[in-house]
Every structure is written in structure tokens, then in C-alpha cells.
Structure 1
Amino acid sequence: MRSLSNPAVAVEKVVRPKVREYFMDRRAEVDVFVARHFTWPGTLLLHRSALGWDILRAPMNVVLSPILVLTRIAAYLCRCAQWRGGADWLASRRILLRTTVARRVEACVVADLLQLSLAEGAAAQSPEALTRAILGAPKFREMIRKRESAADAEALSHRMAGAISEYTATRSAVAEMTTVLCALVVGALVFQALTPGMISMAPGVADAMASTNAITEFPLGQTIGGIWYGFFPTDASPWLITVTMAGLVMIGSVFAAFAGAFADPVQSRLGIHRRRLLRLIDTLEVELTGLGQRPFVAREHFYARLLDLWDAGAGILRIFRN
């Protein structure tokens, strides 16, 4: 009969059950965590910090999101080809800018949900704060010590911190999708058209601006001008459509910085936040116990890119129709 003095037996019989029990407790706290931070007024407190540099980071993240999707696809292909080093390197690339709201969510997940020690404001001051919190956690100490080397333990902490960062990065994609839904509503109410985004909305807005300008400058007055252009509508010039498109994209990007305040309660009600957090906890448990690979992939970025393609297609179709 094997003794528990054997390190491998000790890990299997004592340490891993404790780790599993810890993660079971964390799963039990998910609903409380969601209710505290992702419903009103919790989400409003989170987004209060968006009043600042996040207004500039949000448009940049919209531009960088396609690059993020390409790196994740490349990482998946490398993993399928059994090139784990390349897959891990690509998956660890932090393409998006870390917003202040995302940092606060990271801190809440680490300190409140995972119950790890994290100094207040540490996540905002240093990207390595999450890694240090994982390495220094008493709950993980035994499993981390069983790693083959210090480099292996550090790589583990980086993967776990990366999973948490990947989780918080989903907020930018969800914010983009929320902006798309708002654009659909505005397009249906104002233009009676399908506008799944700012690009497809731009031709309608540009035409309205061109028509208003033409009526204002009509030689016989605005009343007769309104009648005239009611029968003979004017079309916006390509440069006006381009300028309008750029302006609407910027407005939509700024709106995306605060869109989570509207999206969070809806996602909480639909159970999306709960399922996403449970998926994150599953990833952290698999990584820590070393029982396999289950990387956390932010699927929402792929959904957002599909909506971008729909938006671009609808915008091009409207331009050609005009």
C-alpha cells in the first residue's frame, strides 16, 4: 500500500481534493457575485470609472478587436497542429487596451469571487498584480510547488491570469454588440431600415443631412424646398457619407465605453454572466490541477466580428442602392 509520504500520492489524495473543494465553493458564490456587481447599482459603480481615459481606449479597442480575433484563430490552429508553445504565445498576447472598468472587474473577480489577496488598486497599477496574487495564494501553494520548475509555476500563473484577463476582455465585445442593437433600434425607428451598426446607418444619416441642407438653401424658401425635394430627393455625396461614417463610428465607440451599464443587467437576467464565470472557474481549475487543457476563449469577439461583417455588407448594399 502506497504511503501518503509519496509526493504524487499526496497530491492526488490530499491536495487535489482540497483544490476541487475550493473551486466548488467558488462556483456556489457566482450568483451572489453577479447580483452584487452586474446588476444595478453595482454595474453603475463599475462604469463610473469609464469617465476618463476609457472614452479614448474604447475606440482603439474597436480597431484592435479584429487583430485579437486573428490571433485567437491562429492560436487554435497551432493547438490543433500540436504546437503548444506557439499556441500559448499567441493566446497570451494582450491585444486590447486594458480599460479602467476591465481592471476593476479583474480586481473584483480575484478579490471577491476567488478570495485571493489583492491590494486595492494593484490591478490598475501593474498588469503583473494578478500573476503575483495567484503565485502568492495559500490556497494554490501546494499545487504550484508540485510543478517541475519555477519557470513552469510562473507559466501556470501567467496562464491563469491570462484567462481572467480574457474574461474581462469580453466586455468590449459585448459593448460592441450592445451598440449594434441600439443602432438597429435607431435605424428601424428613424430610417425604417435595417442598420446593424454605424456603417450601415451612415448613408441614411448622410442623406438626411444632405436633404436638410438642400431644403435650407432652396432659393424659393424652405417650405417650397421641402415640397420640391419630397418629389425629387437629393443624394449625399460620397465624401459626406465617408465623413458621416467616421463620425458615427467614433460616437458608437464612445458609447461602447458605457454600454456595459445597460448590457450587464440584461446578461445577468439571462444567465449569461453566470455561465461565463462558471466557464472561467472551470478553466482555472483545469489549469491548476494539471488535468488537461481548457483555455478560456472569449467567443463574444467572434460574434462581434460577424456583426461587423453584417454591418459592412448592409452599408455597402445601401450605398449601391442609392
Structure 2
Amino acid sequence: MPERSALILGALEECISEYVEEKRACIDSFISNQYSMQATLDVQKKVLALDLLLNPLNSLWSIPYLTIKKIVETLEQVGWTALVPFFEVLPSGIKTAYQRHIEKQIQTEFLGFGGKYSERDSELFKKIQDHKVLGPLLEKNEISLSNRHINLALNKEVEKYCANQNTISDLLGSFITLGTGWYFFGKQNLSVSAMGDQMARKWAHDDASTKFIFGKKAGSAFYNLFPPQPTGKDIFIATVIIGALLMIVTTAVTVASDPVRLKLGLHRKRISILLDKIEESLFTQLKKQIKRSYKESKAA
């Protein structure tokens, strides 16, 4: 019995290792096809209208999300895990159409499966079915291993990978927002509405200074001491302008981030790490499933 079990697990490891090595050989062609500037622009042309609003929203959320994550991890290290379940369901952001496209490409074009709910046989499941040891055992129902088990394991790692990659892009947008507040208004912690308020106040100040009875210079000094209040309409217009500018800039950064990371070799490194995690996760989870089902079939 132990020898038989070792043979089965050895066959499983062989299939997973062969599958992962095949994927490693495809890394360069995949990332060059998916993350080049031309490929990115081709996709963005189709989804840009949908993503113009989501990119700035995700950028604003990324820093609070990472702050919460750090707090939860710190509390977990000292033994207080009550917030862990809450954080696990807390989204890192709203997936944009571009991000969903990239996730789908990793699933179907690179890893060869259709997502966790797909009924299409994955490349790995076909490999297991064709294996001289595992294939006959599957046909005889001596082991229970379905395409769904593989899809769930693969999908979990892909989602974590994409969430981390998306957070990097969103952080760049956050830094742009913070940098805008610091550069134009001398403050680092301004939100879009606060920047709109500051801009409207500047408009009110400049307009009042221009109309000052003793000239603009004297008016500027006077209204520095007694700042005029902007109208609600001006605050609204200024906020819309700031929001639109940030929307355009953060989207431009998002468009450029993947080609830049491709040039720096970061995508290759991260995809390689993804495959390491997939190999470990597949063997751990599928081994448990096979051992459980093999014991049950023998007991019956």
C-alpha cells in the first residue's frame, strides 16, 4: 500500500513538474505578446471608456487598503486573528476591464485553463488523464481528481498574482495624486475634493485681488489676510477639473506601467514566481485530494 501510494504521488508530481516546465518555456513569448506597448494600447482602445473612472478610484483606495493589510498582518503576528476573515473578503480594488482581460489571458493563453467555473478540460488535467499511472486509475475511479480541483487551485494563485500586480499600478496613481497635492498646493494629504476646494479658493483670491481698488499687488496682500470665500459653483467646477486631470493622468500611468515593467524584466520575474507558487499549491492540494480518494476507494 505505501509503495502504491508513493507511485501515485510520484506520478502526480511528474505531471505537475512537466506542466510547469512547459509553462516556463512560454514565459517570454507570453509577456512580449501581452505587455508590449502595442498590445497594451490595442486592448486599452477597447476598454478605455470603461476604465477612466475606475483607475482613479482604485488609486485612491490602494493606500488605505495596504494600510489595513499591514495592521491585520501585525495583529495576526501577535496572535489576534479576528480581523483576518474580514480582510480576506476585502477587495483590493474594483477590477477594470483591462485587468480582467489580462487575468483571462493568463488563465487561458498561458496556463491553459478556463477559470475556476470552466468545464473545459485544463492542460494539466489532460496530462494527468494521459499519464500511464494516473490515467487508468481515474478511469477505474480508484482516485478522484477532477478538472474542477485543478481549476480552483490554479485560479486561486492567478487571482493573488493579479491582485498584487494591480495594486502596484494603483499605487502609482496614488503617488500621482499625493504628488499633485504637494506640487500645486504644498500639502501631501489632499483628496480630490480638497484640491478642488483649494483651487476654487485660489480663483476667488486672484479674482478679488484683480478687482481691488488699490491694485492687484495690494489686493493680493489684503486677501492673504482676509481670504474670500469661493462659491459652491466654483468649488464644484474646480473639483471636476482636478478629477478629470487625475483621471487622465492615472489612466496614462496605468497604460504605460505594463510596458515599462516588461522592459525592466519585472513581468518575467513575477510570472516565474507565480509558476513556483502554482507548482507548490497544485502538488499540496491535489495530493490531499488523491490520498483521500485513494484511501476511500480501498476502504470500500
Q: Does the alignment reach a TM-score above 0.5?
A: yes
In the alignment, is the contact (CA less than 8 A) between 2:113 and 2:120 conserved in 1?
no
Equivalence map 1:102-113=2 (5 Å):
102-113=99-110
In the alignment, is the contact (CA less than 8 A) between 2:119 and 2:148 conserved in 1?
no
Equivalence map 1:110-121=2 (5 Å):
110-114=107-111, 116-118=112-114
**Does structure 1 residue 20 correspond to structure 2 residue 17?**
yes
- State the 1:254 CA deviation: 6.1
Q: Return 5+ residue gaps in structure 2 as ranges.
A: 129-133, 287-300
**Cα distance between partner residues in 1 of 2:58 and 2:179:** 24
Which residue does 1:265 correspond to in 2?
259
- State the 1:77 CA deviation: 6.3
Cα gap change, 1:111 to 1:136, in 2 (>3 Å): same
Equivalence map 1:163-178=2 (5 Å):
163-178=157-172
Which residue does 2:291 correspond to in 1?
none
**Does structure 1 residue 140 correspond to structure 2 residue 161?**
no
What's the secondary structure of 1:98's corresponding residue? coil
- State the 1:260 CA deviation: 1.6
- State the 1:176 CA deviation: 2.9
**Cα distance between partner residues in 1 of 2:32 and 2:251:** 21
Letter of the 1:9 counterpart? L
Superposition RMSD on alpha carbons, in Å? Answer: 4.7
- State the 1:238 CA deviation: 9.2
- State the 1:26 CA deviation: 1.8
What's the secondary structure of 2:124's corresponding residue? coil
In the alignment, is the contact (CA less than 8 A) between 1:75 and 1:90 conserved in 2?
no
In the alignment, is the contact (CA less than 8 A) between 1:135 and 1:154 conserved in 2?
no
Q: Which has the higher contact order (CA 8 A, sep 6+)?
A: 2
Which residue does 1:131 correspond to in 2?
116
**Count of aligned pairs:** 269
Given candidates 4, 8, 11, the residue that maps to 2:9 is: 11
- Identity rate of aligned residues, in percent? 19
What's the secondary structure of 2:116's corresponding residue? helix
**Cα distance between partner residues in 2 of 1:59 and 1:230:** 34
Which residue does 2:94 correspond to in 1?
97
Cα gap change, 1:71 to 1:248, in 2 (>3 Å): same
**Does structure 1 residue 157 correspond to structure 2 residue 151?**
yes
In the alignment, is the contact (CA less than 8 A) between 2:24 and 2:272 conserved in 1?
yes
- State the 1:104 CA deviation: 0.7
Bigger Cα displacement from structure 2, 261-270 vs 102-111 = 261-270
Equivalence map 1:283-294=2 (5 Å):
283-290=277-284
**Does structure 1 residue 214 correspond to structure 2 residue 192?**
no
Q: What is the TM-score normalised by the length of structure 1? A: 0.62
Q: What is the TM-score normalised by the length of structure 2? A: 0.65
What's the secondary structure of 2:42's corresponding residue? helix
Which residue does 1:303 correspond to in 2?
none
- State the 1:246 CA deviation: 8.0
In the alignment, is the contact (CA less than 8 A) between 2:161 and 2:274 conserved in 1?
yes
**Cα distance between partner residues in 2 of 1:269 and 1:100:** 23
- State the 1:21 CA deviation: 2.6
- State the 1:131 CA deviation: 0.8
Cα gap change, 1:30 to 1:230, in 2 (>3 Å): farther
Larger Rg: 2
